[in-house]
Amino acid sequence: MADKKMTMQGLGEIALGVLTLIVVYSVVPLIGSSMDTATTLGPTSQWNHTVNANIPTGVDLWTTVGPFLTLAAIILIVAGFLTTLKGLKDGAE
Protein backbone atom coordinates (compact mmCIF):
# COMPACT_ATOMS: atom_id res chain seq x y z
CA MET A 1 0.00 0.00 0.00
CA ALA A 2 1.30 3.47 -0.87
CA ASP A 3 2.27 5.86 1.91
CA LYS A 4 -0.83 8.08 1.93
CA LYS A 5 0.93 11.02 3.57
CA MET A 6 3.65 11.20 0.90
CA THR A 7 1.20 10.59 -1.94
CA MET A 8 -1.24 13.27 -0.76
CA GLN A 9 1.60 15.72 -0.09
CA GLY A 10 2.87 15.21 -3.63
CA LEU A 11 -0.59 15.67 -5.12
CA GLY A 12 -1.01 18.82 -3.02
CA GLU A 13 2.25 20.22 -4.37
CA ILE A 14 1.17 19.48 -7.94
CA ALA A 15 -2.18 21.19 -7.34
CA LEU A 16 -0.42 24.19 -5.78
CA GLY A 17 1.89 24.48 -8.79
CA VAL A 18 -1.02 24.35 -11.24
CA LEU A 19 -3.00 26.85 -9.17
CA THR A 20 0.02 29.18 -9.09
CA LEU A 21 0.27 29.08 -12.88
CA ILE A 22 -3.44 29.81 -13.27
CA VAL A 23 -3.32 32.76 -10.87
CA VAL A 24 -0.13 34.17 -12.37
CA TYR A 25 -1.37 34.04 -15.95
CA SER A 26 -4.81 35.43 -15.11
CA VAL A 27 -4.01 38.11 -12.50
CA VAL A 28 -0.59 39.55 -13.39
CA PRO A 29 -1.62 40.88 -16.84
CA LEU A 30 -4.55 42.66 -15.19
CA ILE A 31 -2.21 44.26 -12.66
CA GLY A 32 0.13 45.43 -15.44
CA SER A 33 -2.78 46.90 -17.37
CA SER A 34 -4.04 48.67 -14.25
CA MET A 35 -0.58 50.12 -13.65
CA ASP A 36 -0.42 51.51 -17.19
CA THR A 37 -3.85 53.15 -17.01
CA ALA A 38 -3.80 54.20 -13.33
CA THR A 39 -3.33 57.90 -14.00
CA THR A 40 -3.26 60.31 -16.88
CA LEU A 41 0.05 62.09 -17.38
CA GLY A 42 0.65 65.31 -19.22
CA PRO A 43 2.36 65.07 -22.60
CA THR A 44 5.55 66.71 -21.29
CA SER A 45 5.74 64.90 -17.93
CA GLN A 46 9.01 63.06 -17.21
CA TRP A 47 6.87 60.15 -15.97
CA ASN A 48 5.24 59.82 -19.39
CA HIS A 49 6.57 56.81 -21.27
CA THR A 50 6.59 58.69 -24.56
CA VAL A 51 8.90 61.38 -23.08
CA ASN A 52 11.15 59.14 -20.99
CA ALA A 53 11.56 55.69 -22.55
CA ASN A 54 13.53 54.33 -19.55
CA ILE A 55 10.44 54.10 -17.32
CA PRO A 56 9.24 50.50 -16.95
CA THR A 57 5.67 49.73 -17.93
CA GLY A 58 3.30 47.03 -16.75
CA VAL A 59 4.21 44.95 -19.79
CA ASP A 60 7.90 45.24 -18.86
CA LEU A 61 7.10 44.04 -15.35
CA TRP A 62 5.21 41.02 -16.67
CA THR A 63 7.97 40.21 -19.17
CA THR A 64 10.54 40.28 -16.38
CA VAL A 65 8.67 38.49 -13.58
CA GLY A 66 6.47 36.05 -15.53
CA PRO A 67 9.18 33.52 -16.49
CA PHE A 68 10.50 33.32 -12.91
CA LEU A 69 7.04 32.63 -11.53
CA THR A 70 6.44 30.03 -14.22
CA LEU A 71 9.74 28.34 -13.36
CA ALA A 72 8.79 28.29 -9.67
CA ALA A 73 5.43 26.67 -10.49
CA ILE A 74 7.06 24.07 -12.72
CA ILE A 75 9.52 23.22 -9.93
CA LEU A 76 6.56 22.79 -7.54
CA ILE A 77 4.83 20.45 -9.99
CA VAL A 78 7.97 18.34 -10.52
CA ALA A 79 8.62 18.20 -6.76
CA GLY A 80 5.05 17.05 -6.20
CA PHE A 81 5.42 14.38 -8.85
CA LEU A 82 8.66 13.12 -7.30
CA THR A 83 7.11 13.16 -3.81
CA THR A 84 4.17 11.13 -5.13
CA LEU A 85 6.53 8.60 -6.70
CA LYS A 86 8.49 8.34 -3.45
CA GLY A 87 5.25 7.73 -1.55
CA LEU A 88 4.27 4.99 -3.99
CA LYS A 89 7.74 3.40 -3.78
CA ASP A 90 7.84 3.50 0.02
CA GLY A 91 4.38 1.98 0.21
CA ALA A 92 5.31 -0.88 -2.13
CA GLU A 93 8.12 -2.09 0.15
Res 82: pLDDT: 85
**Closest by CA position to 86, among listed 20, 11, 16:** 11
**Closest by CA position to 75, among listed 19, 12, 14:** 14
CA triplet 8, 75, 27: central angle to 5 degrees?
Answer: 95
> 3-state class of 19 per DSSP?
helix
**What is the spatial distance between Cα 49 and Cα 85, in angstroms, rounded to a whole number?**
50
Per-residue pLDDT of the chain (93 residues; tens, 9 = 90+): 455 666 777 778 788 888 888 887 888 777 767 766 777 777 888 877 778 888 877 677 777 887 888 888 888 888 888 888 887 776 655
| pTM, rounded to two decimals | 0.58
